[in-house]
Amino acid sequence: MSRLSRRELIAGGDELWTGGPSTREDQRLNLAVTSTDDILCNVKTIAITIEDDILDRIDRLLAGREYAGGNRSRVIREAVREYLSRIERSEEEEKEKEIFKRHRDRLARQAAALVKEQAKP
């Protein structure tokens, strides 16, 4: 398999290069290419410890389906991404609750004044 340039990869070349980085530009890009539809930039390979039952559940999810292209890593990436989004959203909601609590009295006065103003004939 021939090595494609970054431009050819982005253009969706028919061939894929699966070798390690060979130039400074390749090292900076850190491309991990698994298919023409799945070009991942700036990914890191890590090792995780995972319980057997969770791995079995992932494998059952992928078995006989085209879900996530049958790719465990993609399933785990999507799950982590969703989990982090949920945590970040929850933290943001907590900050907003604190703001509302801090300004509760002023907001109540403003709401009462607005209702009173709208009730005038």
E strand spans, 16-116: 32-35, 38-40
First to last CA, the chain: 81
Total domain count, the chain: 2
Q: Indicate whether 84 and 108 sit together in one domain.
A: yes
Q: Indicate whether 70 and 99 sit together in one domain.
A: yes
Confidence band for 103, pLDDT divided at 50, 70 and 90: very high
Q: Indicate whether 34 and 54 sit together in one domain.
A: no
Q: Indicate whether 24 and 72 sit together in one domain.
A: no
Q: Indicate whether 87 and 97 sit together in one domain.
A: yes
46-101 pLDDT, tens digit per residue, is 999 999 999 999 998 888 777 767 788 888 999 999 999 999 999 999 999 999 99
